[in-house]
Amino acid sequence: MLLWSKVYIDMSKSISLSILTQRFHQVLPEEAVLTNKEQLYPYESDGLTAYRQLPRLALLPDNHDQIKAIINICREFQLPIVARGAGTSLSGGALPHAEGVLLNLAKLNNIIEIDPNNRTARVEPGVTNLAISQAAKPYGLYYAPDPSSQIACTIGGNIAENAGGVHCLKYGLTVHNVLALKILTIDGEILELGGKYFDSPGYDLLALMTGSEGMLGITLEATVKLLPHPQQKKVLLAAFDNIEKAGNAVTGIISEGVIPAGLEMLDNLTIQATEQYCSPGYPPNAAAILICELDGFEEELNSQIILVKKILKDCQAIEVRLARDEQEAELLWMGRKAAFPALGNLTPDYYCIDGTIPRKYLAHVLENINGLSKKHGLRVANVFHAGDGNLHPVILYDANASGELETAEELGGEILELCIKVGGTITGEHGVGVEKLNQMCVQFNEAEITTFHAVKAAFDENALLNPGKAIPTLHRCAEFGAMHVHEGKLPHADLPRF
Amino acid sequence: MLLWSKVYIDMSKSISLSILTQRFHQVLPEEAVLTNKEQLYPYESDGLTAYRQLPRLALLPDNHDQIKAIINICREFQLPIVARGAGTSLSGGALPHAEGVLLNLAKLNNIIEIDPNNRTARVEPGVTNLAISQAAKPYGLYYAPDPSSQIACTIGGNIAENAGGVHCLKYGLTVHNVLALKILTIDGEILELGGKYFDSPGYDLLALMTGSEGMLGITLEATVKLLPHPQQKKVLLAAFDNIEKAGNAVTGIISEGVIPAGLEMLDNLTIQATEQYCSPGYPPNAAAILICELDGFEEELNSQIILVKKILKDCQAIEVRLARDEQEAELLWMGRKAAFPALGNLTPDYYCIDGTIPRKYLAHVLENINGLSKKHGLRVANVFHAGDGNLHPVILYDANASGELETAEELGGEILELCIKVGGTITGEHGVGVEKLNQMCVQFNEAEITTFHAVKAAFDENALLNPGKAIPTLHRCAEFGAMHVHEGKLPHADLPRF
């Protein structure tokens, strides 16, 4: 099946660009068909800029009929299609295909309905994440998932990558907040999946579609859950003289039944970087700090704060600060929010890794990352969603120094494999894209990868939708020499005991 | 592909029972292979007793190797396999196949691990829902989904049907509480899906498997989320002199941002029945009552109760009672919990329907159900999860009265189609099974049903796993004369305006 699709895609190369352009002009206005290199450069890469590729052409439809017509032409010529929202993916999910079409969905940016009774919003794929919350604000509602790119990133991209954010510990990832999708299949059919309700009969294609990285269908519309704004928020900072204690505090808070709205960790390198960048006033010598946001009713918060302070003390925090007002709370968050540009100031280039581990291995994994950092001679900063075990080690390197990019990629790969080794996974919120194809071979066995391909073929037999992303071929895994491991299959001596 | 499997299954008929028995005795102890009619009768039906079918034989493995060996033999002889936990399905999900094997997983009932740090339990499929909470109790934790059959039903069955319960409004369905699954495929391969973390790379096969009614694989192990017991619970009862006001109160509570742990509605017929059955002391003349359970920290509860009472008053509740202690709370719940046996006392037989609608249509749909009840001349009682719009109309009939079963089924079908018409769906928590195959043709269009079959074929090409359940053939839909409707595709004049 996959070989067959190879033949088709190779065939598509033989169709001249002028014939393709002519065909697309029949269904789109002239300005919606981009073919010049200058017009195509903006699409050359997404947020993972180490990978660059120009598409053959880029298309900017502004309605469903145009998109259907595009899909029909792509099917006719067996042209690969890469759909794109704002291109903020950090895993290369929106990297163009050299032989294919870049389908820019940014013009589909209507908010179709805000339904306060059912607390839902129905939106087009090009609507930005933040725009949904803005539209819901008059009703006292908002959309919970908040990736740090939320001002720019689109809901279509969020769905493709199953995006998260600081608050997904309490409010879930995109998959937990999408109620319905209208999907256009590669066959030009419409699938309406889910609705304004919990359960759905038949197989859960709604969840299957979410996080499928544009490989199973094109999102034309999404209905998402809206939440009422919490009555109040409280923000705490806690500092520790070693990372293990900070890790224990995270486990302690969660296992006492407190679910913070956000629970973030910054290590010393990140603390130093943010201090230089925007002076949030974090304790400069702390090995790690935690920022803990609690939300809810005031009375509930007061009792939670007492409990959290006690846990922090039990875990030997060297300092605990409670923001007394909104301004102080914003100051505590400021360094965290500026962490990436702050780290960017320390280094010509950085590479942000995204893996998730069971919380109890936090200290163990951070210690091992430190070892890998020394082994490869590259600094690694850690700033991440500690509450849900979602790590973002940031590797500092210099792309102009010979071999450093390759070393950074190697180090990143080893960190992800370490995540798998402790029973974790190679993504928390960024997706696999082109970045983590090799690590998929470590995460999954042959039967699992084969099942992924079978599911792909059930939707897109000729692999026209975002080909080459997310799921490696078995051939690639063989070449990578994958050492597939599952939790518990490794010698237990490798893991710390709890 | 489906025709092909038909040929295979027909072929399996030609294998004699004695040859099959002999083969299964090679891999199972003698007492684990049941072939006599007396031994098979207990498996004849599940909770949907209107459907009865004996399997060719029933097997009771007690470990993974035995199950793998069974699957291999079934594949060899192309024998259909129906896996079963406790057989409490209300949609016929565990109805045996006449030519096939009934695979009883009840002996796989070990709780493998309770991990309080990560708040997870790893269990075998035959563990009962309640047993998980009992095992977690020493750690102050519990498993949230609580179908009313929780004392008997197994987690394997819960996963197959994506079971819900009274508390799923706040805590989600099974799919929201399962973190990982170990699945045996029909090819004898093991898939490890998910883990002790949120996100997962690749397609979301974990969610796809949950609610797939045993048609994509056999669950060997499940890792589920545990929650800390809420600090306190409060229970309120509110009575209304018409159902519309009760419906408005439900919408009012949710849209004010209160998420009760449970929000149940009982209509007058149910109130009368429970009074006769166990005297819970509900207001006997109320058109409907709501039972509202709030949980959380005491201080939070106090402010929520003030808010909820205000909403109930605004919606013209004729009576509001707040349970002053645990004993009074239990009394308020007693009638709700006894509703089904209580209704059973009013009638020789009853048929419990399971559909879900957007909350704002509650009053409209209940009124229409009343109309359908009169049209068909059968009484319908309503007792249901109002907060998440999950209806359970209970049709009272007499199976011995000529034609009443058929009338009840027809009425049930029309109620489900009414749910679809207002943008709802044909299941809330019971699944499709054999019961709702016709309504699937109304819920989904041809492209959607075709996609379901393609997904099935990706896992189980020859349709050996629970064949004939959940997804109708296109042929059946054509025969049923399906009128596929999607929300908004019906003339809007049919729907009430809001």
Q: For domain B347-494, say whether CATH 3.30.70.2740 is its number.
A: yes
Which of B129, B165, B367 lies closest to B261, judged by CA?
A: B165
pLDDT value of position A483: 54
Place of tokens 């009576």: B319
Q: What single string gives the DSSP state of each residue in A433-475?
A: TTTTHHHHHHHS-HHHHHHHHHHHHHH-TT--BSTTSSS--HH
d(C-alpha A393, C-alpha A378), whole Å: 12
- Indicate the residue of B199, B358, B455 with minimum beta-carbon distance to A427: B199
List, as ranges, residues 435-474 from A with C-beta within 8 Å of B: 436, 440, 443-445, 447-448, 451-452, 454-459, 470-471
Contact across the interface for A359 and B390, Cβ inside 8 Å:
no
Residues whose CB is less than 8 angstroms from the CB of residue A491 and which lie 6 or more positions away in sequence, other chains included: none
List, as ranges, residues 179-198 from A with C-beta within 8 Å of B: 185, 187, 189-193, 195-198
Q: What single string gives the DSSP state of each residue in B75-128?
A: HHHT--EEEESS---SSSTTPPPTTSEEEE-TT---EEEEETTTTEEEE-TTSB
Tokens matching residue B213: 């009614």
Overall fold of domain B2-104: 3.30.43
Answer for the pair B46, B94: CB distance below 8 angstroms, yes or no: yes
Tokens matching residue B287: 């058109």
Answer for the pair B405, B413: CB distance below 8 angstroms, yes or no: no
Contact across the interface for A185 and B451, Cβ inside 8 Å:
yes
Residues whose CB is less than 8 angstroms from the CB of residue B421 and which lie 6 or more positions away in sequence, other chains included: B485, B490, B494, B495
Q: How crowded is residue B76: how many other Cβ atoms within 10 Å of its Cβ?
A: 11
A486 vs B: CB within 8 A: yes
Please write the tens of the pLDDT for every residue from B213-255.
999 999 999 999 999 898 899 999 999 999 999 999 998 998 8
**Closest chain B residue to A304 measured between Cα atoms?**
B297
A344 vs B: CB within 8 A: no
d(C-alpha B89, C-alpha B161), whole Å: 8
| B75, pLDDT greater than 50 | yes
B45 vs A: CB within 8 A: no
**Which chain B residues touch A172 with a CB distance below 8 Å?**
198
Tokens matching residue B61: 């493995």
pLDDT value of position B497: 39
Contact across the interface for B172 and A199, Cβ inside 8 Å:
no
Contact across the interface for A212 and B192, Cβ inside 8 Å:
no
**Closest chain A residue to B471 measured between Cα atoms?**
A202
Answer for the pair B153, B147: CB distance below 8 angstroms, yes or no: yes
* Angle formed at CA A284 by CA A279 and CA A286, multiple of 5 degrees: 135
Contact across the interface for B203 and A455, Cβ inside 8 Å:
yes
**Identical topology for domains B232-342 and B347-494:** yes
Answer for the pair A59, A24: CB distance below 8 angstroms, yes or no: yes
A15: closest CA of chain B, how far (Å):
30
| B279, pLDDT greater than 70 | yes
d(C-alpha B93, C-alpha B89), whole Å: 6
**Closest chain B residue to A358 measured between Cα atoms?**
B196
Place of tokens 């064949």: B467
DSSP state of B112: E
Contact across the interface for A228 and B257, Cβ inside 8 Å:
yes
- Indicate the residue of A185, A199, A205 with minimum beta-carbon distance to B173: A199
- Indicate the residue of A360, A429, A455 with minimum beta-carbon distance to B118: A360
Q: How crowded is residue B224: how many other Cβ atoms within 10 Å of its Cβ?
A: 25
B483 band by pLDDT with thresholds 50, 70 and 90: low
Contact across the interface for B436 and A203, Cβ inside 8 Å:
no
d(C-alpha B333, C-alpha B328), whole Å: 9
Q: How distant, in Å, are the alpha carbons of A42, A81, A85 from that of A218?
A: 21, 10, 11
pLDDT value of position A92: 95
Overall fold of domain A111-228: 3.30.465
Q: For domain B232-342, say whether CATH 3.30.70.2190 is its number.
A: yes
**Closest chain B residue to A436 measured between Cα atoms?**
B201
pLDDT value of position B254: 86
B11 vs A: CB within 8 A: no
* Angle formed at CA B495 by CA B491 and CA B498, multiple of 5 degrees: 125
d(C-alpha A143, C-alpha A129), whole Å: 8
Q: Which amino acid is residue A185, in one-letter code? A: T
Which of A222, A260, A230 lies closest to A142, judged by CA?
A: A230
Contact across the interface for A432 and B202, Cβ inside 8 Å:
yes
A230: closest CA of chain B, how far (Å):
9
B158 vs A: CB within 8 A: no
B485 band by pLDDT with thresholds 50, 70 and 90: low
Q: Collect the ranges in chain A with pLDDT lower than 50.
A: 1-7, 487-498
pLDDT value of position A498: 37
Q: How crowded is residue A21: how many other Cβ atoms within 10 Å of its Cβ?
A: 15
**Which chain B residues touch A228 with a CB distance below 8 Å?**
256-257
Q: What single string gives the DSSP state of each residue in B231-283?
A: SEEEEEEEEESSHHHHHHHHHHHHHTT---SEEEEEEHHHHHHHHHHH-----
d(C-alpha B69, C-alpha B164), whole Å: 33
Under DSSP, is residue A264 helix (H, G, I), strand (E, B) or coil? Answer: strand
B138 vs A: CB within 8 A: no
Q: How distant, in Å, are the alpha carbons of A24, A264, A282, A328, A336 from that of A278?
A: 49, 18, 11, 14, 10
Please write the tens of the pLDDT for every residue from B130-176.
999 999 999 999 999 999 899 999 999 999 999 999 998 899 999 99
A428: closest CA of chain B, how far (Å):
5
B12 band by pLDDT with thresholds 50, 70 and 90: low
B305 vs A: CB within 8 A: no
Contact across the interface for A175 and B204, Cβ inside 8 Å:
yes
| DSSP H helical ranges for A256-397 | 268-278, 298-314, 326-337, 339-344, 362-376
Domain ranges of chain B: 2-104, 111-228, 232-342, 347-494
B446 band by pLDDT with thresholds 50, 70 and 90: very high
Beta bridge partners of A384: A265
Looking at chain B, the whole-number percentage of residues with pLDDT higher than 70 is 94
Answer for the pair A449, B189: CB distance below 8 angstroms, yes or no: no
**Which chain A residues touch B255 with a CB distance below 8 Å?**
116-117, 119
d(C-alpha B265, C-alpha A335), whole Å: 49
| B61, pLDDT greater than 80 | yes
B31: closest CA of chain A, how far (Å):
33
Cα torsion A61, A65, A70, A76 to 10°: value is: 180
Tokens matching residue A245: 């204690």
Tell me which of B7 and A432 has the higher pLDDT. A432
d(C-alpha B328, C-alpha B317), whole Å: 20
d(C-alpha A419, C-alpha A23), whole Å: 47
- Indicate the residue of A199, A425, A448 with minimum beta-carbon distance to B429: A199
**Which chain A residues touch B388 with a CB distance below 8 Å?**
197-198
| B94, pLDDT greater than 80 | yes
List, as ranges, residues 221-260 from B with C-beta within 8 Å of A: 227-229, 251, 254-257
pLDDT value of position A10: 58
Contact across the interface for B197 and A470, Cβ inside 8 Å:
no
**Which chain B residues touch A114 with a CB distance below 8 Å?**
none
Tell me which of B197 and A273 has the higher pLDDT. A273
Furthest-apart CA pair in chain A: how many Å? 71
A202 vs B: CB within 8 A: yes
A167 vs B: CB within 8 A: no
Answer for the pair A33, A69: CB distance below 8 angstroms, yes or no: no
